[in-house]
Chains A and B, each alone.
Chain A
Amino acid sequence: MPRSRKRPPGVDSKLLIKDAAKLLPEPSRRLFLRGAANLGALAVLSGCDIVDGETSDSALRVISTFNDRVQALLFNPNTLAPEYPESAITRPFPFNAYYSQDEAPDVDSDQWQLEIGGLVDNKKPWTLPELYKLPEVSQITRHVCVEGWSAIGSWQGVKLSDFLKLIGADTTAKYVWFQCAEGYSNTIDMPTALHPQTQLTLKFDHQILPRAYGFPMKIRIPTKLGFKNPKYVTAMWVQNNNAGGYWENQGYNWFSGL
């Protein structure tokens, strides 16, 4: 599967990666303990490898994979995320990323196109005017961040399940993978991709999606944590292998359903 993509103008990827690395708390694989202060925790999962923590780390990841399966079972494709009135919208809706707002990708809409790949009949890339012409759906839902805070936003765009049908995607495939302008990526399960509220989002509060919220396109998934809602999307692939994602590869739970 090709991972290369057009570099959006105005984004120095080296600089971005350097800045992102600075913000990362620790080398990602060291999720474990700080010192031996947590007496109780030591005995259970770590076995003999208490000082190093690698064993704990992999045991915790095994449980996290188990939790992926439990969440897939808990996920009801017909259960809708609660919707809110306009008055409940959080203003200003927060910008959130692992980089600052002025480092966010500044995508040139004339150059941009949505690349389509994988198990799809029609792989023709989509331009922004073409996407704007598709039937629009709208939702006012709660965005829940993995950190705990939440905010209510208003999103408009194309129902992803309709779009997948339109391009002749194999919806028996297991995953949909998204690539983003700044190098972010994310894989979601097909049942979530087909959920009635999962959206190719082109607008926020009925205005063209601003740069801060992912111009020109984000994926809005109100049944998943915020980091599973990729912004600045440039490519979408339907596939059977789980390609993980930017944060998942550093230890966040993959399914992260709400």
Chain B
Amino acid sequence: MTIEATVGPPLAPRTTAGLVIHPRWVRVTHWINALAMLMMIGSGWQIYDASPLFGFVFPRQLALGNWLAGALLWHFAAMWLLMVNGVAYIALGILTGRFRNKLFPVYPRDVFHDLFAALRGRLSHDDLSVYNAVQKVLYLGILLTGVVIVLSGLSIWKPVQFHALTSFFGGYNTARYVHFAAMTAIVAFLVVHVTLAVLVPKSLRAMIVGR
């Protein structure tokens, strides 16, 4: 326990020492989501392999569930974890004002500026509690992708009961491609997200212990 933050002069530059960067609910929902995502992606790859949309299949060593029936059981079990956790996360994000404070406003000019700074390795990570514009765009994008993958998934699961939703995604066949594209976007995000967490280890620490 440190008391630095509370005794610091009021006008001193903001420091992360002692301040909670990620409240407990963010950390809990983050790791539950990570687990649910791994289960959904692993089982989803096995389901994809039963009737591939493209000229490739996923290696069975990476897929969850021994064959299609097992993968489907995993997929439709993990979906509850993903949905309940996702709804809790979004509700808390809105109610606590975290989304508004952390993700908005986001201006295109800042995004370009921060993107170039990041590519030149000159983006500051001193204050983990403030997201740069690139982070804001990526987190907003992945939130939206999360909504799309759940809704397109529901439209494939229930193309009769939810036929209006299925039509919204362009019909049953197109909805399968939308679902796949959303998965691809999430995997791409994961690669960047995990790489950066490894490059800036204190960000990983913040997501585990909160500061």
Chain A residues in the interface with B (C-beta under 8 A): 25-26, 28, 30-35, 37-41, 43-45, 59-61, 63-64, 67, 74-76, 79-82, 142, 144-150, 222-223, 247, 250-253, 257-258
Contacts and interface: CB of A to CB of B under 8 A. Distances in A.
Nearest to A43: B35
Contact of B159 (A40, A41, A80, A142): A142
B209 interface: no
B161 A75 contact: yes
Contact of B64 (A33, A43, A79, A149): A33
Given A31-B67, A148-B50, A148-B51, A222 B76 contact: no
Contacts of A30: 66, 70
Interface string B33-52: 01100110010000110110
B161 A252 contact: no
Contacts of B156: 148
B14 interface: no
The 10 closest A-B pairs by CB, nearest first: A31-B70, A251-B69, A40-B38, A25-B67, A148-B51, A147-B50, A60-B73, A147-B51, A63-B77, A258-B160
Nearest to A44: B35
B80 interface: yes
Given A35-B61, A40-B34, A82 B73 contact: no
Nearest to A59: B77
B68 A146 contact: yes
17 contacts: A30-B66, A33-B65, A34-B63, A38-B42, A40-B39, A40-B42, A60-B70, A63-B73, A63-B76, A63-B77, A64-B76, A80-B160, A148-B176, A222-B160, A251-B72, A251-B73, A257-B161
B68 to A, nearest CB: 7
Given A45-B77, A63-B77, A257-B161, A251 B70 contact: yes
Interface of B: 34-35, 38-39, 42, 47-48, 50-51, 60-70, 72-74, 76-77, 80-81, 156, 158-161, 163, 172-173, 176
B77 A34 contact: no
Prevailing SS type, chain B contact patch: helix
A146 to B, nearest CB: 7
A76 B76 contact: no
Prevailing SS type, chain A contact patch: loop
Contacts of A37: 61-62
A40 B67 CA distance: 18
B18 to A, nearest CB: 31
A26 B48 CA distance: 18
B33 to A, nearest CB: 11
B172 A41 contact: no
Contacts of A67: 76
A64 B80 CA distance: 11
